[in-house]
Amino acid sequence: MSDLEAHLAARIRAGGPLRVSEFMAEALLNPTHGYYTTRDPLGAAGDFTTAPEISQMFGEMIGLCLAQSWLDQGRPERFALAELGPGRGTLMADILRATRAAPGFTEAATLHLVEASPPLRAAQRATLGEEVTWHDSIDTLPEDRALFLVANEFFDALPIRQFLRSGPGWRERLVGLEDESLRFGLGDLLAQPALHHRLADTQEGDLVEICPQAAPIMAAIGTRIEAHGGVGIVIDYGDWRSLGDTLQAMRAHEKVAPLEAPGTADLTAHVDFEALANATPSAHSRLTPQGVFLERLGITARAQALAKGLSGAALESHIAAHRRLTHPEEMGNLFKTLAVYPTDATPPPGFEA
């Protein structure tokens, strides 16, 4: 039994089974043994690869989207350019390179990264330099200026709670102990006011997930944008409404059991975009597949331009990266995009109201 497993077992023996959200928080962010606090999880040598690591084109398209939105909103003289969960800083570096095409954009921006992982903060510093303000949470982002924000694969890592439909009520899925090993179980049958609206579209035995942290974060983003201008772009895997068990663990690019060796695998769950959209006081776009969003922004033309200087294995890798980002059978449909923007503004490029 690992140190984190022993810690979790002791906590369960002392206080009873844990909610899935409590288990996820410990597995991902335990100060001593948590997954994100002890390693850089990205890339071929890590456990998973995100879109910015696949190709520079992903960040370039988002950068152009942000720059055009800045122009459309009258070129605010001062704004916060922010990213939630910025990985190694690759996406932000690509955004900054692409937005140089919009004179005045980078000069008006102050750079803000919300990152809880010390190893990843170090990687971001190496990529982006020292002209960055790091934040432990969204609460300390500037509130006196426009906010242009990106959250790519951020919300999927927030801890979730899971509930199993049982008649007119719900039983919460819990993590307990069986023969000194972590096991899933179910709590007592209770009414769940937060899930009352789901009684109409679920049936006996259906599992529904909620993410308690997601709505307050989205509300804070939308409040800033509605008050001062800007745009928030959320990119993640999920759909309009949660249904079914989507909790998964990834280690060395392979799926493993979520309770197996906690702290050594990434834990994620599909994002409920309906909950995000309902949380913001600002306007929000239609939910758009990632592939459609990138194609609207011109990623194929950019791919063709970059391909002219490539041949052999480099060209094959480039073509594969474009396909992986946009094809419906790859990330193109699995990942969705949602934009929030002021109610008196137009949707950002690539989105529809």
Inside any domain, residue 194: no
pLDDT values of the chain reduced to their tens digit, one per residue, 353 residues: 778 999 999 999 999 999 999 999 999 988 888 888 876 666 555 556 789 999 999 999 999 999 999 999 999 999 999 999 999 999 999 999 999 999 999 999 999 999 988 889 999 999 999 999 999 999 999 999 999 999 999 999 999 999 999 999 999 999 999 988 999 999 999 989 989 999 999 999 999 999 999 999 999 999 999 999 999 999 999 999 989 999 999 988 889 999 998 988 899 999 999 999 999 999 999 999 999 999 999 999 999 999 998 999 999 999 999 999 999 999 999 999 999 999 999 999 999 99
Inside any domain, residue 20: no
CATH number at 331 reads 3.40.50.12710
Q: How many CA atoms lie within 13 A of 58 on its CB side?
A: 25
Tell me which residue range forms the domain holding 81.
35-159+210-338
Number of domains in the chain: 1
Looking at the DSSP bridge assignments, the partners of residue 302 are none
Inside any domain, residue 174: no
Inside any domain, residue 285: yes
Cα 136 to its chain centre, rounded Å, is 16
Look-up of token digits 């759909």: 239
How many CB atoms within 10 Å of residue 308?
Answer: 8
Inter-residue contact 113 to 86 (CB < 8 Å): yes
CA–CA gap between residue 334 and residue 291 (Å, rounded)? 9
Q: Is 263 helix (H, G, I), strand (E, B) or coil?
A: coil
Inter-residue contact 4 to 26 (CB < 8 Å): yes
Inside any domain, residue 186: no
How many CB atoms within 10 Å of residue 238?
Answer: 25
Inside any domain, residue 127: yes
Inside any domain, residue 25: no
